[in-house]
A and B are shown apart, each in its own frame.
Chain A
Amino acid sequence: MGNTDRPLSPHLQVYKPQLTAVLSILHRATGVFLSIGSLLLVCWLAALAKGPESYATVQGLLGSGIGRTLLLAWVFALFYHLCNGMRHLFWDMGLGFDMDTVYASGRFVVVVAITLTLITFAMAYAIRGGLL
């Protein structure tokens, strides 16, 4: 003790990025992003409650290029956080802790999240000609 100049763990810059660590921080990042993104849901509902004009304004904003991009990011973040959250629930039950399984479930979660995002947008385009 007493030496305050020592490097502190986890000392991230010396580590090569690994799938496990990247997915772990991505779970937090998507969680924070989704928390902020929940404002979208509140705005949409509030506008709908207020009346046709405010609803049209919000729909216009969500339908813009930025709006669509945000929605795509939001849907992917949601599916990633949901799938990886279920991976966490399995860990909570004490399952899937060996290294091979941890990597396999990590890859699986990324593939499923991307697939569900694509399915969502394909469905939206097929049904209504575009998600907003």
Chain B
Amino acid sequence: MNMRAPLARVRGHGSAKSGAHHWWAQRLSAIALVPLFLWFVASLTVIATADYATAAKWVGSPYNSALLILLIGALFYHAQLGMQVVFEDYISTPWLQVASIILVRFLALLLAVVAIVAVLRIAWGG
């Protein structure tokens, strides 16, 4: 007796062994964002009205720029994972759903890179 399921029957139904990845990545980025955003909002109360030189000095300091880059990475990763779930739940047209997910992924990456490059330019006085 052959215990192996015919490929035609299992294709599209079986476990790809990655079902929990999205869930786990969303939680991991959420946990990282808790301290990062508490730090960021607390800093914002001081820095938000600062003049150009003070703001640039704050962003450019080694600890702040490192934390900002971590925050930007975790933020856009988490946002993209969250938007994906929203699209999967509310967009029922398959091609539009996939197109939206692809678009939001590219957009998140683009914005993250722009923000990180900006932080590095400020830090290194570009």
A interface residues, Cβ below 8 angstroms from B: 28, 31-32, 34-35, 38-39, 41-42, 45-46, 48-49, 51-52, 55-56, 62, 71, 75, 78-79, 82, 85-86, 88-89, 92, 120, 123-124, 127-132
Partner of A55, one of B55, B76, B79: B55
B interface residues, Cβ below 8 angstroms from A: 27, 30-31, 33-34, 37-38, 41-42, 44-46, 48-50, 52, 55-56, 59, 68, 72, 75-76, 79, 82-83, 86, 111, 114-115, 117-119, 121-122, 126
- Cβ contacts under 8 Å, B115 to chain A: 41-42, 45-46
Partner of B49, one of A45, A79, A88, A129: A129
| A91: min CB distance to chain B, Å | 11
Partner of A92, one of B27, B59, B79: B27
Of the candidates B50, B68, B75, B115, the one having the most CB atoms from chain A within 10 angstroms of its own CB is B115
- The answer for the CA separation of A38 and B76 in the assembled complex, in Å, is 8
- Cβ contacts under 8 Å, B56 to chain A: 48
Pair B82/A82 contact, Cβ less than 8 Å: no
- The answer for the CA separation of A35 and B80 in the assembled complex, in Å, is 8
Q: Which residue of the partner chain B has the closest CB to A54?
A: B52
Pair B30/A85 contact, Cβ less than 8 Å: yes
- Cβ contacts under 8 Å, A89 to chain B: 27, 30-31
- Cβ contacts under 8 Å, B59 to chain A: 45, 48
- Cβ contacts under 8 Å, A127 to chain B: 45-46
- The answer for the CA separation of A61 and B39 in the assembled complex, in Å, is 24
Of the candidates B34, B38, B41, B122, the one having the most CB atoms from chain A within 10 angstroms of its own CB is B41
Pair A124/B48 contact, Cβ less than 8 Å: yes
- The answer for the CA separation of A31 and B41 in the assembled complex, in Å, is 17
Of the candidates A45, A79, A82, the one having the most CB atoms from chain B within 10 angstroms of its own CB is A45
Pair A128/B50 contact, Cβ less than 8 Å: yes
Q: What are 25 A-B residue pairs whose CB atoms fall within 8 Å in the complex?
A: A28-B86, A31-B82, A34-B79, A41-B75, A42-B111, A45-B122, A46-B114, A48-B59, A48-B122, A49-B117, A49-B121, A62-B48, A75-B41, A82-B34, A82-B37, A85-B34, A92-B27, A120-B41, A120-B45, A124-B48, A128-B45, A128-B46, A128-B49, A131-B45, A131-B48
- Cβ contacts under 8 Å, A49 to chain B: 117-119, 121-122, 126
- The answer for the CA separation of A78 and B48 in the assembled complex, in Å, is 16
- The answer for the CA separation of A84 and B113 in the assembled complex, in Å, is 28
- Cβ contacts under 8 Å, A62 to chain B: 48
